[in-house]
Amino acid sequence: MKSLAFNWQFWALASAAFAALTAIFAKVGVANINSDFATLIRTVVILCVLLALVTATRQWQPLGEVNNRSLVFLVLSGLATGASWLCYFRALKLGDAARVAPLDKLSVVLVAVFGVAFLGERLSLVNWTGIAMIAGGVILLTLRT
């Protein structure tokens, strides 16, 4: 059996669990402060944790070894992440976590569409059915009844 450290499903499930905690903690944390300032605090914490992790595990690499294409796309990813976090915290400030988080997870549907359109990835009919079910679930979870 493959070690959990090398199992992508383990890390994806851990990510989902931490993302769920993020929504709950952020909803409580943003209640009495500006959402953009809350995002800044969160970002500083993440930066400190990553600095400690990379230092402790000796994973520093010379920036000059990162090729330009990777650097451009990592910067674009960082900008998209920042925009996503700002929007997410603003949404949490204004809405219920139980409705905001599922709508945010519509990103799963968009990643599938973008992966096929821009990265040449292929999904089967079963995969597309799952994507459609996620989209339908998002719609149902965001309805007020």
Residue 23 and residue 17: Cα distance in Å, rounded?
Answer: 10
Say whether both 87 and 30 belong to one domain: yes
Same domain, 81 and 23: yes
* Domain membership flag for residue 129: yes
Domain extent, residue 113, equals 105-145
Q: Which pLDDT score is estimated for 17?
A: 93
Q: Could you tell me if residue 100 is inside a domain?
A: no
12 and 65 housed in the same domain: yes
pLDDT of residue 143: 87
What is the pTM for the complete model shown?
A: 0.84
Q: Are 54 and 8 in contact (CB under 8 A)?
A: no
Q: 78 and 145 share a domain?
A: no
Residues 30 and 9 reside in one and the same domain: yes
Residues 124 and 79 occupy one common structural domain: no
Neighbours of 37 (CB within 10 A): 11
Asked whether residue 74 falls in the same domain as residue 33, the answer is yes
Q: Are residues 82 and 110 in the same domain?
A: no
Is the residue at 46 inside a domain? yes
Query: Is 63 part of a structural domain of the chain?
Result: yes
Q: Is residue 13 part of a domain?
A: yes
Q: Are residues 32 and 88 in the same domain?
A: yes
Predicted local confidence at residue 139, as pLDDT? 92
Residue 52 forms part of a structural domain: yes
Flag whether 99 is in a domain. no
Residues lower than pLDDT 70 in the chain: 1-2
pLDDT at 133: 97
